[in-house]
Amino acid sequence: MTMTGTDRTPATDLASPAPTTGRPRVDVVVPFAGSTQALRALVDRLACLQVAAGDAIVVVDNRPGAPDEVRHPQVDVVAARERQSSYHARNRGAARGRAEWLLFIDADVEPPRDLVARYFAQPADDRTAVLAGAVADEPPDGREVLPPAARWAYLQASLSQENTLLAGTPYAKTANCAVRRDAFERVGGFRDDIRSGGDADLCFRLAEAGWALERRDDAAVLHRSRRRLSKLLRQQARHGSGSAWLDRTYPGFSPRKRWPGLAVWAVREWAAAAVAVAAREHDAALLHAVDPLVVWAFEVGRLAPNTVDRPATAPWRWARR
């Protein structure tokens, strides 16, 4: 995918002002699959976004059998229970509106109030389909000691767009990106029968159709990382499954690692962790200890199927093929 844009420095100040006039209409779409309490908190948080007439904020409840019990005057909460896939949920949310742009963010990020304005502080090129915002992993703030899993995510900048935008096949993570609706509809939206890798797949199909990607580093969100190591490893396993699927779909995208060499590397990392502990180099010890676990979870996850079993009716009858 062609990349344009000049400012390649990730934004760190989430509170600076941005212009709010003369921008296109935007539908903000957020998939959700947590507790009802967390859903209410998410809706309240999203209601603080600065939106204009013609914009919409849509939360898509992707839990199976979830009750219809959350209502808000500023946030539209819709159900997508047919298929437990965040991409199915995003498609359902996209089909809800008709704005020129779709802004996808994840439920575990905290956007600044002026996020929408930041995306369109400068106009997108006519051939740009994807605007990649920045994602900053949760930093220590002095009031809370981050658990090891969250500390590791911060040290590794695990969700940063830098991990995908500078690769040979760049793509934007749906944790925070905007997609032009016309382009989104023309390629048929997200593949909604997969669990992971749908953001890369969408960007690759858009690139094949001749659309470009631009960076929007000032449109930054804060990612609240997983607190428990077990949840972090499950996340990495899911990413591994998606990566293997992408490698089968786009050969050469993500070749698997050789397990014997990976085992040797892991032992060396854990030995380095012991040395770092003795030297009281806590962050180095954490990285040496957790990195092998994360990589192994990712590689083992490659063996798991990435498809979602239950079929669903495509929500976009409006998609132009």
Domain ranges for the chain, please list them: 22-140+158-226, 233-301
Angle between helix 198-208 and helix 229-249 axes, rounded to 10 deg: 30
Is residue 214 over pLDDT 60? yes
Interval 191-195 mean pLDDT? 93
CB 98 within 8 A of CB 318: no
List 93's β-bridge partners, or say none. none
Q: Which residue has the tokens 């400068």?
A: 122
User: What is the value of pTM for the model shown?
Assistant: 0.85
Q: Is the pLDDT of residue 140 over 50?
A: yes
* 139 — pLDDT class (breaks 50, 70, 90): confident
Could you tell me if 312 and 62 are in contact, meaning their C-beta atoms sit under 8 angstroms apart? no
Q: How far apart are the C-alpha atoms of 206 and 187, rounded to whole Å?
A: 7
Mean of pLDDT values over 84-106: 95
Contact 117, 50 (CB under 8 A): yes
Contact 56, 76 (CB under 8 A): yes
Cβ atoms of 257 and 264 within 8 Å: the answer is: no
pLDDT, tens digit (0-9, with 9 covering 90-100), for 231-278? 999 999 999 999 999 999 999 999 999 999 999 999 999 999 999 999
Q: What share of the chain has pLDDT > 90, as a percent? A: 70
Which carries the bigger pLDDT value, residue 234 or residue 66? 234
Q: What is the pLDDT of residue 65?
A: 75
Average pLDDT over the chain, rounded to an integer: 87
Task: Note the pLDDT tens digit of each residue in 20-32.
Answer: 458 999 999 999 9
Block residue for tokens 């900053």: 136
Query: Where does the chain show beta strands of DSSP type E?
Result: 2-4, 26-32, 56-61, 76-79, 101-105, 109-110, 128-137, 176-180, 212-223
Chain segment 37-65, per-residue pLDDT in tens? 999 999 999 999 999 999 999 999 998 87
Determine contact, residues 80/89, Cβ cutoff 8 Å.
Answer: yes
Query: Does pLDDT of 205 surpass 50?
Result: yes
194 or 5: whose pLDDT is higher? Answer: 194
DSSP 50: -
Q: Residue 21: its pLDDT value, please?
A: 54
In CATH, which superfamily holds the domain spanning 22-140+158-226? Answer: Spore Coat Polysaccharide Biosynthesis Protein SpsA; Chain A (3.90.550.10)
How does pLDDT run across 158-171, given as a tens digit for each residue? 878 888 887 678 99
pLDDT confidence tier of residue 142, bands split at 50, 70 and 90:
low
